[in-house]
Amino acid sequence: MRLSSSCLKCILDVRLREILGSDLPDEAKTLAACDLIQYVAEVVRPRPSEIITYVASLAFRRVKELVGSEDPYLSYKLRSEEVARRVAELVEERVEGLSGYERFRALVVASINANSIDPGIASYTFDAAELSELVLRDELAVDDTEEIYRALRRARAVAYLLDNCGESVLDKLLIAELRSWGLKVYAVVKGGAYQNDVTVSDALRVGLDEVAELVSTESDFSSLIPGTYSERVKEALRESDLVVAKGMAHYETLSELELDRPVAFLLRAKCEPVARSLGVGVGKNVALLRPQ
């Protein structure tokens, strides 16, 4: 997806909120906000139709520099994971006794529900404590889970692009299921902090290395924007028969690119531009398979 005026407003709103919520003195916050606005203008003016996630990623990198923190969302990540661990027990109880497609679909829906944990959208709010009420709801506005299931059963390897912390605890249950089928799973995570997205250290903290091979992008960009990620990620994509892409940033990016692989987009559409592009309402869950 390409930048629009409403997307630019959202990016600025969130990045300014991050500065204002920092520990900087008030005058320093004002100066940092001015710096950020000028910086984003310099990024956007030459390329006003740039991929959304490219602009958002550079803007967040600037915020990290301005507030003096390599991981501004760390405490939010830890709280989300704590809640998600308790919620995962509910999901495990839910799928106990299920098998095959029914078990797979239940785990997919739970992982998409957990995609609700996202502080990076100006028009959207969600308290991680709400996850226990939401995680077992069985609602998909786009439901390609049967097609995704069949594609995965035929596959030998899959690249699983992680999104948010907390959500990753539910992703671990789904990845463990894929691995139980004999699938090789590459869990692609960030090399540096982007909002509350999963980095290598975050992945290790919740034990994702127990169920998948961790592959670092070696960057802090929010998705696989060409020229921003590691050679090892490129190798993992080549070795995979299918890509599972969690969250809006991966959808916003990969919907613009050709990966020469089928892509299963699993996300909650949390803003109007993304929801409109998918043909669903805001706040709806999506499991969409884009064929090769």
Question: What residue ranges do the domains of the chain occupy?
Answer: 5-69, 76-290
CATH class of 76-290: alpha beta
Q: Where are the alpha helices (DSSP H) in 125-166?
A: 131-134, 145-154
Name the maximum alpha-carbon separation found in the chain: 58
One-letter amino acid for residue 97 of the chain = G
150-163 pLDDT per residue, tens: 999 999 999 999 99
One-letter amino acid for residue 261 of the chain = R
Tell me whether residue 91 is exposed, middle or buried, using C-beta atoms within 10 angstroms of its C-beta: 0 to 12, 13 to 18, 19 or more.
buried
183-205 pLDDT per residue, tens: 999 999 999 999 999 999 999 99
User: What CATH number is given for 5-69 in this structure?
Assistant: 1.10.8
CA distance 151 to 262: 9
Cβ atoms within 10 Å of 182's Cβ, excluding its own: 9
CA distance 254 to 275: 16
CA distance 20 to 192: 22
Q: Return per-residue pLDDT of the chain as tens, 292 residues.
A: 999 999 999 999 999 999 999 999 999 999 999 999 999 999 999 999 999 999 999 999 999 999 999 999 999 999 999 999 999 999 999 999 999 999 999 999 999 999 988 787 776 676 666 777 778 889 999 999 999 999 999 999 999 999 999 999 999 999 999 999 999 999 999 999 999 999 999 999 999 999 999 999 999 999 999 999 999 999 999 999 999 999 999 999 999 998 889 999 999 999 999 999 999 999 999 999 999 7
pTM of the entire predicted model: 0.95
Q: Which of 147, 124, 176 is nearest to 266 (CA)?
A: 147
